[in-house]
Amino acid sequence: MKQGIFITFEGIDGSGKSTQAQMLAARLTAEGVPTLITREPGGTVLAEKIRDLLLFAEEDPAPETEILLYAAARAQHVGKVIRPALARGAVVICERFTDSTLAYQGFAAGNDPELIRQMNTFATGGLVPDLTFLLDLTPDQGWRRVQERSSRIGTDRIEARGLSFQEKVRQGYLRLAAAEAERFCLLTGSDRTKEEVHQQIWVRFLEKFPFIPVGSKGKGGK
Ligand code: TMP
């Protein structure tokens, strides 16, 4: 049974969600709150293997294959890692989750969003994040970070789809956030420092979960 708190970070490639997820996890851990940080696709040995297939296999997957592989990785991750951690009462912070499949494979790649919702429900057993931070920036702002990273680790298949695809992903995310304004926290603007964005995330987190035991250091300071 779910007891912990499930937080997800979403955004286009290069939106800075990894940095922000790590900053939130580090702060909660420093406050003594049991916290697990994980990512999709991935988060278990098997799901990380599926991640490699999705991002780096030589052969392009058919659209249906791609959706099923994301769902397979997610089912494994939810069953083996996320649900057990929530049952222990942890705060689980996940980089990307079901909204990524809706935004990328649904809105951007043109697959039926309703079908993807059904696949998501099947894969997760109906698990929905308690709070989702959406880091919104324009694709060319994100692209700069993607290119810096790609020159180090190589461009993956999805990043290689280019700017117009990222713009469709972005618009998909904005639609999802508008439809579920209670669950989403939209973080806009690339002109802010990562510490400023983190502070906004922290304030929203404490507003939403006031029962989380954080010390005086946590409530006000950085
Ligand atoms: P990452 O680089 O943020 O870890 O994500 C890897 C890529 O996987 C990213 O380009 C987005 C993509 N992706 C999907 O297309 N659908 C999904 O459901 C997930 C979880 C990721």
Whole-number Å distance, alpha carbon 156 to ligand 1 midpoint, is 10
* Domain regions of the chain by residue span: 5-210
- Cβ–ligand 1 contact at 104 (below 6 Å): yes
Nearest one of 114, 113, 97 to 105, comparing CA atoms:
113
Residue 157 has pLDDT above 70, yes or no: no
Neighbours of 26 (CB within 10 A): 13
Residue in 96, 97, 161 to alter for ligand 1 test, most ligand atoms within 8 A of Cβ: 96
- Cβ–ligand 1 contact at 96 (below 6 Å): yes
Contact predicate 128/183, CB 8 Å? yes
Which residue puts its alpha carbon closest to atom 18 of ligand 1?
A: 101
Q: What atom in ligand 1 is closest to the CA of residue 73?
A: 20
Q: What is the mean pLDDT of residues 78-100?
A: 98
Q: How far, in Å, CA of 37 to CA of 216, rounded?
A: 24
Q: How far, in Å, CA of 72 to CA of 76, rounded?
A: 6
pLDDT of the residue at 149 = 72
The sheet that has 131-136: what strands, in order across it?
A: 35-39, 91-95, 5-11, 131-136, 184-188
Whole-number Å distance, alpha carbon 35 to ligand 1 midpoint, is 22
Q: What is the pLDDT of residues 187-206, one digit of tens each?
A: 997 789 999 999 999 999 99
Neighbours of 17 (CB within 10 A): 21
**By mean pLDDT, which of 43-47, 92-96, 158-162 is the weakest?**
158-162
Whole-number Å distance, alpha carbon 165 to ligand 1 midpoint, is 13
Residue 193 has phi, psi (to 5 degrees) of -75, 160
Assessment of whether the complete model's pTM goes beyond 0.95: no
Q: What is the mean pLDDT of residues 55-72?
A: 94
Q: What is the pLDDT of residues 134-151, one digit of tens each?
A: 999 988 888 777 777 766
- Averaged pLDDT score across all residues of the chain: 92
- Cβ–ligand 1 contact at 40 (below 6 Å): yes
Q: What atom in ligand 1 is closest to the CA of residue 17?
A: 3
- Cβ–ligand 1 contact at 76 (below 6 Å): no
Whole-number Å distance, alpha carbon 130 to ligand 1 midpoint, is 20
Calculated CA dihedral for residues 96, 98, 100, 103, nearest 10 degrees: -160
Q: What is the mean pLDDT of residues 28-37?
A: 97
pLDDT of the residue at 171 = 97
Which architecture does CATH list for 5-210? 3-Layer(aba) Sandwich (3.40)
Q: How far, in Å, CA of 7 to CA of 45, rounded?
A: 22
Whole-number Å distance, alpha carbon 200 to ligand 1 midpoint, is 24
pLDDT of the residue at 159 = 67
